[in-house]
Amino acid sequence: MTATSVSVLVPLAGPCAELPDTLEAIERYLQSTGFAFDVRIVDTRDGAGLGAMLRRGGLEAKGSVVVIVDPDLPYPAGAIGNAVAMIESGSTDVVFGVREGHRDERRHFLLRWFLVPALPDPCVRLKAFSSDAARLLFAEAKQDGGGFDLELAYLANKYGFRVEPLTVAATHAPRAKTFGAIGGLFAVTSIRLTDRNNGYRATRRCLVCFSSEVWTCAQIDGNIVRSCSRCKCRYLNQFANLDDTQPVRRVLRSHHPATDAERERPSEPAREKTSRRRLAALRRQLGPRARVLEIGVRDGSFGLATASEFEYVGIDASSPVARAARARGLDVYCATLSNFVNTGPAFDAVTIDHVLENMADPHDSLARIKDLLKPGGTLFLSTFDTEALLYLLSERRRVAHYFRTHLVLYSRSALIELLEHSGFEIASVGPDFQYRDQKFLRHILGARSPLLARIASAVMKILPDPLLVGSGSIRIVARRRAGTPTNIRAIRSVEPTHAR
């Protein structure tokens, strides 16, 4: 294991009597940590701008972590170690130092509204970057003066780097601000114009519609959520590196403790009533003894209901779920969509309920589903809708919950376009209703609005249990279209998709 290497940049715009003491304190502290380090003074007194000198210093830095500090060091030298620890632990890519008691998002609200929500503290120069973030951000930055700090914040958002604040206790008053509430507007205007004129490198394209209009909409633990302005889809910035091409093996696993997502599952009567409702939709579209494939069998309730009327086959990536379904007499295989091999005739229908959100490549997944269907076969797809009113009202509060198990959340318009490009013809689009227990609904309402929960509890007493409710999801019925679909792989070969 290689030791952590740190490159420290000290920008010097004018005479600073505290500089020798600052350098001595930094070197003494870094020597005590065991880091391999180098300290470089970035001197701008020769006429070059601050941004130009920091860009040069950042690109020439060899450390795995690049840190910018104030020449008068108005905080303990240990703040450098804290910033390095945050980067090396993998919890973030960029660290902005913030004075204690000044983490107020209402400050500089105009700059935040025009630029990005997370801005550095103008009175603290302390910043830390991973080597990957430093190479990209410093190479693309073009501003000088205080605009350089604002530009770094904007580019970190644009390219999908995680940004975390680091609270530092100031030992003395700062020398000067790097940007002001009014003066910073000129830098913000210049940054926006540069981006509009394609002065910065384009971000990786959206994995759904291949648009470059991608930005960071939320930051969650260990990841960030990206949003496409064109198709209104949301997806995680980084996916786990899972190799689905390996052969499937039977692995015996012990029962794991129930997670929050499992505790929120509907009761068995509610799941059975939902399954019968979905079976009725299949019955209206398919003939007798049609061959049906379910991707993601969950508890097997839909499979038990379907197997009585149709030839049912199911696949699930979880071996405990597949074993439990087979124990109930269902023909279920432990496989993913990418490594499932259909040994029988093509399917008349494929049903996939809230599973497409967990697949990293929607184009490849729909292409495989199309290959499993016979010509004219029907796809029944249920998923979240980011354009639904319920989702829009709860997105800010529940974004971490939505992406706890999901990789991508789609909009209605994006799914229709995606299906049409993948060789499907849309038959119907509508809301997806599910049965939920009154106990669960009262719990959800009580957590959000106690007053509304008391009114709802009184109304629910005269209503059946479970209740048929909408969840902000949509259900799309599409048929496999004859002919060759759009060559999505050719589009993707032009420029890589997904963030970083």
Tens-place pLDDT, residues 105-142: 567 888 888 888 888 888 888 999 999 999 999 999 98
Task: Tell me the average pLDDT across 88-108.
Answer: 81
173 in the same domain as 286: no
Q: Are residues 191 and 306 both part of a single domain?
A: no
CA-based max dimension of the chain: 88
Domain count, the chain: 2
User: Does 147 share its domain with 279?
Assistant: no
In a domain, 125, yes or no: yes
Cα dist from 309 to 83, 260, 351, 402, whole Å: 61, 34, 15, 34
DSSP structural state of residue 53: H
Residue 417 lies in a domain: yes
Clarify whether residues 279 and 134 are in a common domain: no
Q: How much is the pLDDT for 368?
A: 93
pLDDT for 500 equals: 39
The secondary structure of the chain in percent helix, strand, coil, rounded to multiples of 5, reads 35, 25, 40
278 and 395 together in one domain: yes
3-class DSSP string for the chain? CCCCEEEEEEEECCCCCCHHHHHHHHHHHHHHHCCEEEEEEEECCCCCCHHHHHHHHHHHCCCCEEEECCCCCCCCCHHHHHHHHHHHCCCCCEEEEEECCCCCCCCCHHHHHHCCCCCCCCCCCCEEEEHHHHHHHHHHCCCCCCHHHHHHHHHHHHCCCCEEEEEECCCCCCCCCCCCCCCHHHHHHHHHHHHHCCCCCCCCECCCCCCCCEEEEEEECCEEEEEECCCCCEEECCCCCCCCCCCCCCCCCCCCCCCHHHHCCCCHHHHHHHHHHHHHHHHHHCCCCCEEEEECCCCCHHHHHHHCCCEEEEEECCHHHHHHHHHCCCCEEECCCCCCCCCCCCEEEEEEECCHHHCCCHHHHHHHHHHHEEEEEEEEEEEECCCCHHHHHHHHHHHHHHCCCCCEECCHHHHHHHHHHCCEEEEEEEEEEEEECHHHHHHHHHHHCHHHHHHHHHHHCCCCCCEEEEEEEEEEEEEECCCCCCCHHHHHCCCCECCC
pLDDT of residue 259: 43
Q: Could you tell me if residue 209 is inside a domain?
A: no
Residue 241 lies in a domain: no
CATH number of the domain that 12 lies in?
Answer: 3.90.550.10
One domain, residues 298 and 190:
no
- 270 with 171, same domain: the answer is no
Give the pLDDT of residue 241. 60
- Average pLDDT in the 357-385 region? 92
- Residue 104: band (very low, low, confident or very high) from pLDDT cuts 50, 70, 90: low
At position 366, the amino acid (one-letter code) is L
Average pLDDT over residues 281-295: 91
**In a 3-state reduction of DSSP, which class is residue 205?**
strand
Task: Assess whether 177 and 301 both reside in one domain.
Answer: no
Pair 122, 269 in one domain: no
Confidence of residue 486 (pLDDT cuts 50, 70, 90): low
Query: Do 302 and 382 belong to one domain?
Result: yes
Identify the domain boundary among 179, 196, 213: 196
Q: Which tens digit of pLDDT belongs to each residue from 154-186?
A: 999 999 899 999 998 877 766 678 888 888 899
Q: 28-53, pLDDT tens digit by residue?
A: 999 998 888 888 888 766 656 777 88
Structural domain ending residue among the three candidates 196, 213, 236 = 196
Residue-wise pLDDT for 218-268, tens only, equals 888 878 899 998 999 999 988 876 544 444 443 333 334 434 444 455 667
Residue 445 pLDDT > 70, yes or no? no
Question: How many beta carbons lie within 10 A of that of residue 438, not counting itself?
Answer: 17
The alpha helices in 146-237, defined as continuous H runs, are 147-158, 184-196
Q: Are residues 154 and 14 in the same domain?
A: yes
Asked if residue 438 and residue 300 are part of one domain, the reply reads yes
Cut 0.75: pTM above it: yes
pLDDT at 173: 67
d(CA 67, CA 83): 8
Q: Would residue 236 count as lying in a domain?
A: no
State residue 499's pLDDT score. 42
User: Mean pLDDT over all residues of the chain?
Assistant: 83
Residue 299, in any domain of the structure: yes
More confident residue, 331 or 16: 331
- Boundary of a domain, candidates 147, 163, 196: 196
Containing structural domain, residue 56 = 5-196
User: Which whole number is the average pLDDT over 320-340?
Assistant: 91
What CATH number did the domain enclosing 279 receive?
3.40.50.150
Judge whether 411 lies within some domain. yes
pLDDT at 495 over 50: no
140 within a domain of the structure (yes/no)? yes
Give the per-residue pLDDT at 2: 60
